[in-house]
Amino acid sequence: MKSFIKSIGSLAVFSLLLTACQKDNPAPTPTITGLSFFQASKDLDQINLTSGTQKINTTVFKYLDFLGYRNFSAGKHEITITKQGSATTIAKVSVELKARVAYSAFVMGTTSAPAVLLVEDNLTPVTTKAKVRFVHLKADAKEIDVFINADKTALFAKAPYKSVQAFKEIDAANELKITLKETGKTEIMAEFTKIKVEKGKIYTFVFSDPKTGDTSKMALTTVTNR
């Protein structure tokens, strides 16, 4: 699995994959790749994403929202981020996508310093297990060990801030418990319960600050990738 943090830049404008043809000279079909988005910037809060003149999100993209995989052509693309209700560009983030590869883009940072964490997704299904991964996007938390249920061995160990752990297989459960501890410590930092994971499905657990108005100090958002 590869991950990249993309800071603001300016490259060629991209467009969502459009199928077009002409009667006598049909255009070749571009190779397709898939790209999903997760809004992990509490400071940006409500935003819109565009590619060229094509809007990516159909409704306001809010903090901790997930946009499922969109089809893009392989190659270099530029994502423009604007605040809801404003036409002013906050950022233009360039990404390069390979053919027939799925990606997740985590929008993060602040209004003055936005960024995108881009990661390749292994969406190969498993039939008898669930696949899960852990994403650490809580800026004031140190390295984290992630435990499930009553296990004494961490499923994910020493996960640093801005990291995306590789997918691992676990047993399906109707009420999975996830416990987080700061690496090297025995005290429980946070505990999240009653999380349902099903056989054959693929999930991402995103650890972050909670939404505004939530009295909790930490949040764990479950994303179903497939």
Do 82 and 76 form a contact (C-beta atoms < 8 A)? no
pLDDT tens per residue, range 34-70? 999 999 999 999 999 998 788 999 999 999 999 999 9
Confidence of residue 15 (pLDDT cuts 50, 70, 90): very low
Query: How many angstroms separate the CA atoms of 156 and 118, rounded?
Result: 20
Domains of the chain: which residue ranges? 3-121, 130-224
Note the pLDDT tens digit of each residue in 159-191.
Answer: 999 999 999 999 999 999 999 999 999 999 999
Q: Which fold has domain 3-121?
A: Immunoglobulin-like (2.60.40)
Closest by Cα among 71, 87, 90, 80 to 32: 71
Determine the pLDDT at residue 29: 61
- Residue-wise pLDDT for 177-226, tens only, equals 999 999 999 999 999 999 999 999 999 999 999 998 888 899 999 999 99
Grade residue 83 by pLDDT with cuts at 50, 70 and 90.
Answer: very high
pLDDT band at 22 (very low <50, low <70, confident <90, very high): very low
Q: Which residue has the higher pLDDT, 69 or 19?
A: 69
Could you count the other beta carbons within 10 Å of the beta carbon of residue 181?
18
Do 3-121 and 130-224 show the same overall fold? yes
Report the CATH number of the 130-224 domain.
2.60.40
The 10 Å Cβ neighbour count of residue 87 is 7
